[in-house]
Structure 1
Amino acid sequence: DLTSLRAAIERLPCCATDAGGTAQADPLNAVGIGQFSDIGAALVRRNYRRDAHESDLSQRVFGRTPDFVMRKQAQAGSPATWIRGWLAPLRYQGQLVFVAQVGRPVGGRFVPRNDPHLILQGNVDEARNYLIQDLMYSGGLDKLGFTNGVGAAPYSQPRTTLDGATYYTDGLRAVVFFATRPRSMSDVEFLDWVPYLSEHDIPPPGDPADAHQ
């Protein structure tokens, strides 16, 4: 049931690791639930495409590289929001459960195309929220909720990844349930899990402000 699912999601790892499983990599700030065809259709409708870089393959969850990497291309093919996803050892009512890392590169659309050294932009919550907006516009979102699992209290401490990137997070993981048939935004069900407030969008003083670029 949903209560058991929430508990299982909160027990998932907070972050990816390096190949040795010792150094902490990027935060796992989203979970997608549904059939692969429905997940893929919703993302493709919002211009996400398969696009794995060397930097993506350095991340490990459950001891393996991402099962898929998708990117939404900015103007002129520049790198924008990425989604690195791993199939989790969970199922919900026969549907697949993917844990994912949603992020954007420092520099946004000004990063050279095919740059092999993309650095995570510090406001990872903003990238997560952009994905939610995309999914709502795609018509592929059935339910949405938030759980704990990424970190401690909002913006308590900056965290550093294995490539030296520093990020802040409110500690919440977005959980999105994909619909088989397109649904309007008014039909999306919001789960009464962890409350989400607009203040979570506000980065701490001194955080890089280039996420909109």
Structure 2
Amino acid sequence: MISDSAARDIFGVSLGVHGIQAVWIDIDNRTGSPLYYLPVTTDQQYFSPLEVAWKVKGKFNKEGEQAVDRMFVERAMPVNLPPGEQTSGFVFTNRDLGIKVVNVVLLGGGKSWQTSFMVDVPGIKLDVEKVNFEELYQDHEYQDLSRDELKHWLATQTCCTTNEDQTSSGDPINFTLVGDSQLLLSAMVQRGWDLTERIHGGSIWKTTKSFLVGSSYRYSPVSSLYALERPQDLALQKARGNIHQRNHLRLWRAPVLCEGEPVWLGQISRDIGVRFTFKSPTLTTHKIDPDVDEARDYLLQDMIFSQRLAEFGYVRAMEPHTIASPGHNLTGDPFITDGLRLVMFFHQPMTPMHKVRDLGWEQPNRDRRDWLQQLEAAATTE
């Protein structure tokens, strides 16, 4: 993937200002069959070469415009890959900052090939960059647990996040990830999750501006919540229509492994609104959807679609909170939950959606009739 400045050197025009990022792909087809490259797997909303040319032409004469058309068409990555040949070119993707996952899928000869890799992209100050993961724990502090031992260990962990001095309880720690860290991050970024920007003057201004005008801010910072005696190691979010609405999650690297793989504790909720507050450095805070289980299970669906998730199960983390007796997070928002913590196991190679296995540990209650009864009871009381 090339930078904005490199794109100007190569193409003679700016791509970044148009939200376009050029990714260079080089494929050596050593099979005996022609292959077909699927650019939609690299970016579901990629730009065609002539579309890019149209966006950047500016004030060219007719001859100059034709030259721009030819340039982008000639340099674009072909979709047909002849056998025994090396083929390369640019795919014009949507511009990402922080981290970009490049996914490549090839079809041909009755087979398919898939690979992906992550690229660091400059342009924002990521919150995760302040964490030195090699120094979180000493090697001797990690316990390598079996799955049964992991279930027992998770049952001993606190149910919820806290404030810095651990005097107040916050949002539930409602999921756990097990697998290679790069594989986990790749799956999330591919599904549209963005790493969050560090809280600083620029990000505070962008957050406030987005709040005032109702625009989207993909990398908006998140406030610190605490688990394992520290703030989150990294946070990700999936922006929706505007800054008022997003799914966001926090992750903490745990001092355990499961069958040799890293383990992460996580907290996820769905933001449904924004309000001003003096309790946050950004002067704003999000109101969460009270149904935190819905956000938890949304993540499960999303990871199934990533085709990196192999197995999942649920373990008991806390007593249920109902509509009649909700829990509350640190900003006072109520939440309801069945009290289960989702545990997801990621493996290579890719796992088709129909082969993702439910381990059958605990079963979440998805019957909403209980909710209706509680809502009717609350209405009668009022």
Task: Calculate the TM-score normalised by the size of structure 2.
Answer: 0.49
Q: CA deviation at 1:185?
A: 1.1
Is 1:75 aligned to residue 241 of structure 2?
yes
Q: CA deviation at 1:192?
A: 2.2
Question: What does 1:107-146 align with in structure 2 at a 5 Å threshold?
Answer: 107=273, 111=274, 116-146=284-314
Of Structure 1 and Structure 2, the greater helix share is in 2
The higher-RCO structure (CA 8 Å, 6+ apart) is 1
Give, in whole Å, the separation in 2 of the partners of 1:39 and 1:10: 23
1:57-91 Cα shifts (integer Å, max 9, x gaps): 43111111111100011135654111100011111
Q: Does the 8 Å CA contact 2:171/2:329 hold for their aligned counterparts?
A: yes
Is 1:184 aligned to residue 352 of structure 2?
yes
Partner of 1:152: 319
Identity percentage over the alignment? 26
Q: For this pair of structures, how many residues does the alignment match?
A: 202
Q: 1:201 to 1:134 in 2, by over 3 A?
A: farther
Q: Does the 8 Å CA contact 2:246/2:272 hold for their aligned counterparts?
A: no
Any idea what SS the aligned residue of 1:157 has?
coil
Is 1:167 aligned to residue 314 of structure 2?
no
Partner of 1:209: none
Q: CA deviation at 1:170?
A: 0.3
Q: CA deviation at 1:35?
A: 0.9
Q: Which amino acid aligns with 1:67?
A: D
Any idea what SS the aligned residue of 1:198 has?
coil
Q: Does the 8 Å CA contact 1:88/1:98 hold for their aligned counterparts?
A: yes
Question: What does 1:55-94 align with in structure 2 at a 5 Å threshold?
Answer: 56-76=222-242, 79-94=245-260
Q: 1:70 to 1:202 in 2, by over 3 A?
A: farther
1:21-74 Cα shifts (integer Å, max 9, x gaps): 110111100000011101011101110010157684431111111111000111
Q: 1:64 to 1:201 in 2, by over 3 A?
A: farther
Partner of 1:102: 268
Q: Does the 8 Å CA contact 2:196/2:222 hold for their aligned counterparts?
A: no
State which structure, 1 or 2, has the greater radius of gyration over its C-alpha atoms: 2
Q: 1:201 to 1:123 in 2, by over 3 A?
A: farther
Name which of 176, 195, 206 aligns with 1:50.
Answer: 195
Of Structure 1 and Structure 2, the greater strand share is in 2
- Structure 2 unaligned segments of length 5 or more: list them: 1-145, 200-220, 276-281, 376-382
Task: Calculate the TM-score normalised by the size of structure 1.
Answer: 0.85
Is 1:32 aligned to residue 177 of structure 2?
yes
- Structure 1 unaligned segments of length 5 or more: list them: 207-213
* Cα root mean square deviation, aligned: 2.5
Give, in whole Å, the separation in 1 of the partners of 2:154 and 2:354: 26
